[in-house]
Amino acid sequence: MLRGVNVGGKKVEMEKLRRVYESLSLGNVRSYIQSGNILFESSNSDAHLLVNRIEKEIARAFGFDVSIIMRTDKEIRKIIENNPLSGKDPTKLHVTFLLEEPDDFPVEEVRRIKNKAEDFEIKGKEIYLFCPNGYGKTKLSNSFFEKKLKTVATTRNWRTVNTFLTMAASN
């Protein structure tokens, strides 16, 4: 998942992005919607090395830096299976993916800033969000979490998270 592309100034054509991944000898490269979601196969199990290579090649190809947060199909399956907000309306659910697991999570501060109707739970490197008024209206944005947790964050809606798993299983 690429952080912050096709929202604001970082425009990325998905076909060109797929070619970047393919140029790195990654297999079965597929994109999902226009927000930098790329699924691929790799025999390389060193996620940090792989992310570093992809980020460098994207910078070369597009002329700007972008952060990547990567999860395996097994990790996505666990994220879905372990959803602590599973009883809530799935059309209002989101997952904020963090690059690193925070040492300390400011639960009380998040409770103070969130809308009364919103809910959240953190599990490892994911924050599950319930935003009944829409993600665009919450104060619990990527920028908020990045500032508080000192790590990169990117958010996807519940449908997209489930689509990742469906796409990964269709190989």
Q: Are residues 58 and 86 in the same domain?
A: no
pLDDT of residue 35: 78
Do 23 and 105 have their domain in common?
no
Residue 47 belongs to what domain range? 14-62
165 and 81 housed in the same domain: yes
Measured in whole angstroms, the distance separating CA 65 from the mean position of its chain's CA atoms is 16
Averaged pLDDT for residues 145-165: 96
Cα–Cα distance, 80 to 111 (Å, whole number) = 23
The pLDDT of residue 7 is: 61
Please state, in angstroms and rounded to a whole number, the distance separating the CA atoms of residues 49 and 45.
Answer: 9
Together in a domain, 108 and 138: yes
Summarised one tens digit per residue, pLDDT across range 88-126 is: 999 999 999 999 999 999 999 999 999 999 999 999 999
Nearest to 37 by CA among 74, 78, 86, 76: 76
For residue 4, what pLDDT band results from cuts at 50, 70 and 90? confident
Domain count, the chain: 2
Q: Is the pLDDT of residue 75 over 90?
A: yes
Here the tokens at position 141 are 């944005």
Residues 77, 123: one domain? yes
Other Cβ atoms closer than 10 A to 132 = 15
Mean pLDDT of the chain: 93
Cβ–Cβ < 8 Å for 167, 39:
yes
Total-model pTM: 0.94
Does one domain contain both 57 and 79? Answer: no
Q: What is the CA radius of gyration of the chain?
A: 16
Answer whether residue 9 is part of any domain. no
> 163 and 81 in one domain?
yes
Could you tell me if 129 and 140 are in contact, meaning their C-beta atoms sit under 8 angstroms apart?
yes
Report the pLDDT value the prediction gives residue 88, as an integer from 0 to 100. Answer: 97
Query: What CATH code is carried by the domain that includes residue 45?
Result: 3.30.70.1280
